[in-house]
């Protein structure tokens, strides 16, 4: 089902879950098991990330196609501009259309390993805005895009740039935006207010990162520009070597974060699952009064 229709028909906020394509058979078996386990929370859609290399990109296509044909869940295929010409993108989109894939999360993507900055290939795109316009020409897709409440690390003009480009993503045809994760809800609320003031009307779905390994989150956050507030350091640092305690604290904090977001009118919660199901299910079980 199209993401735009899913969001329009929803009477209560929705849950969605993001996975990455595993590199091994064992990882892939784990992914299908997680998707099965997640049925208890009735996810509105499952999104699958897109890597920088050919093999990982093929895995995304394989997983998304199988979700569509075998599970009854609605897949969203992430797609980036990395390393692809328009002709190659058009070919992939034609395959997606033939397989009944209706939803694309359109991204610029990051530089592949070994390169220090993103560079468009000849005949390719430099920004997600261009990919969104191209998607609109190529087929009847529902299109989501990414946005950054704390600003994208490359945005010289800070959050103001991200708001300007989010408006452009909307104008070029995006139906919804999913945010980078953040731990301070005030950042999100301020960002959303500024987006609305700038004429951005599309649903802005907050990305939620349940913390299962604090050191890993500190590393990720440094790369993607998500800040770790002092209060979070103070809670996590003393227990960071006790992974079970970190997981429990991660769930407790995510429940509190999601509850406040839901009480303040978000259209859904997008969970960065890191290919695990337990934390998302545990968090959901404590939010059922507020969810679809
Ligand atoms: C929800 C979510 C899912 C993600 N999934 C993936 C994934 O599957 N695979 C992957 O590789 N990465 C993924 N990423 C990471 C993403 O690819 C990186 O953050 C990347 O650096 C930027 O992608 P973007 O689509 O936001 O780029 P853009 O929107 O193109 O923005 C990149 C930079 O350029 C600026 N900019 C934007 N538009 C313009 C314009 N028209 N002209 C000039 N400057 C502009 C922005 O301010 C920003 O600094 C995801 C991120 C999020 C939040």
217-234 residue pLDDT tens: 999 999 999 999 999 999
| 83 pocket-lining for ligand 1 (C-beta < 6 Å) | no
The whole-number pLDDT of residue 54 equals 74
Average pLDDT on 26-43 reads 98
Helices 278-285 and 243-263 cross at an angle (nearest 10°) of: 50
Q: CATH no. for residue 110?
A: 3.20.20.220
> Taking a C-beta distance cutoff of 8 angstroms, is the pair 135, 93 a contact?
yes
Q: Read off φ and ψ for residue 176, nearest 5 degrees.
A: -160, 160
Closest C-alpha to 132, from 173, 86, 90, 178 = 173
pLDDT at 115 over 90: no
Quote the DSSP letter at residue 275: T
**What total of structural domains would you count in the chain?**
1
Tell whether 92 is covered by a domain. Answer: yes
Report field, pTM of the whole predicted structure over 0.95? yes
Length of the chain: 292
The whole-number pLDDT of residue 196 equals 98
Q: Is 137 a catalytic residue?
A: no
| 276 pocket-lining for ligand 1 (C-beta < 6 Å) | no
Tell whether 239 is covered by a domain. Answer: no
Q: Which is the closest atom of ligand 1 to the Cα of 157?
A: 47
Expressed in angstroms and rounded, the spacing between residue 153 Cα and the centre of ligand 1 is 10
The whole-number pLDDT of residue 78 equals 98
The whole-number pLDDT of residue 290 equals 96
Give the separation between CA 109 and CA 56, rounded to whole angstroms. 14
Average pLDDT along the chain: 96
Tell whether 62 is covered by a domain. Answer: yes
Q: Which is the closest atom of ligand 1 to the Cα of 179?
A: 53
The whole-number pLDDT of residue 52 equals 82
Expressed in angstroms and rounded, the spacing between residue 112 Cα and the centre of ligand 1 is 13
Q: Which is the closest atom of ligand 1 to the Cα of 270?
A: 1
Average pLDDT on 98-114 reads 93
Tell whether 221 is covered by a domain. Answer: no
pLDDT at 275 over 80: yes
The whole-number pLDDT of residue 140 equals 95
The whole-number pLDDT of residue 116 equals 84
pLDDT at 53 over 90: no
pLDDT single digits (tens) 172-221: 999 999 999 999 999 999 999 999 999 999 999 999 999 999 999 999 99
Q: What percentage of residues in the chain have a pLDDT greater than 70?
A: 100
Average pLDDT on 100-110 reads 97
Q: With bands split at pLDDT 50, 70 and 90, how would you rate the model's confidence at 112?
A: confident
The whole-number pLDDT of residue 220 equals 96
Tell whether 233 is covered by a domain. Answer: no
Closest C-alpha to 103, from 135, 127, 71 = 135
The whole-number pLDDT of residue 114 equals 83
pLDDT at 292 over 80: no
> Taking a C-beta distance cutoff of 8 angstroms, is the pair 20, 57 a contact?
no
Atom 20, ligand 1: residue with shortest CA distance: 109
Closest C-alpha to 147, from 120, 116, 190, 176 = 176
| 68 pocket-lining for ligand 1 (C-beta < 6 Å) | no
pLDDT at 89 over 80: yes
Q: With bands split at pLDDT 50, 70 and 90, how would you rate the model's confidence at 55?
A: confident
The whole-number pLDDT of residue 188 equals 98
pLDDT at 161 over 90: yes
pLDDT at 129 over 80: yes
The whole-number pLDDT of residue 152 equals 97
130 lies in which domain range?
3-213+250-290
Helices 86-98 and 128-138 cross at an angle (nearest 10°) of: 50
pLDDT at 236 over 80: yes
The residue to mutate among 48, 81, 108, having the most atoms of ligand 1 within 8 angstroms of its beta carbon, is 108
Tell whether 276 is covered by a domain. Answer: yes
Q: With bands split at pLDDT 50, 70 and 90, how would you rate the model's confidence at 64?
A: very high
Tell whether 244 is covered by a domain. Answer: no
Give the separation between CA 83 and CA 108, rounded to whole angstroms. 10
């Amino acid at each position: 089902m199209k993401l735009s229709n899913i969001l329009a028909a929803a009477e209560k906020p929705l849950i969605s879950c993001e996975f990455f394509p595993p590199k091994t058979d064992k990882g892939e078996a784990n992914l299908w098991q997680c998707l099965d386990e997640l049925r208890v929370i009735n996810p509105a859609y499952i999104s699958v990330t897109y890597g920088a290399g050919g093999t990982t990109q093929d895995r995304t296509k394989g997983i998304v196609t199988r979700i569509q044909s075998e599970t009854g869940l609605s897949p969203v295929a992430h797609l980036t501009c990395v390393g692809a010409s328009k002709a190659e993108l058009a070919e992939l989109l034609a395959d997606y259309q033939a397989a009944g894939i209706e939803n694309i999360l359109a991204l610029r993507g990051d530089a592949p390993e070994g390169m220090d900055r993103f560079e468009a290939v000849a005949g390719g795109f430099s920004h997600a805005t261009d990919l969104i316009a191209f998607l609109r020409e190529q087929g009847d897709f529902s299109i989501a895009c990414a946005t950054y409440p704390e600003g994208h690390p490359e945005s010289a003009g800070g959050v103001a740039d991200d708001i300007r480009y989010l408006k452009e993503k909307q104008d070029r045809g995006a139906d919804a935006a999913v945010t980078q994760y953040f731990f301070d809800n005030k950042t999100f609320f301020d960002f959303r207010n500024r987006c609305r003031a700038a004429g951005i009307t599309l649903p802005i779905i907050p990305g939620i990162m349940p913390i299962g390994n604090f050191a890993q989150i500190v590393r990720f956050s440094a790369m993607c520009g998500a800040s770790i507030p002092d209060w979070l350091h103070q809670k996590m640092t003393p227990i960071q070597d006790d992974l079970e305690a970190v997981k429990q604290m991660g769930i407790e904090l995510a429940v509190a974060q999601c509850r406040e977001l839901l009480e303040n009118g978000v259209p859904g919660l997008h969970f960065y699952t890191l290919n695990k199901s337990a934390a998302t299910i545990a968090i959901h079980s404590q939010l059922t009064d507020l969810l679809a």
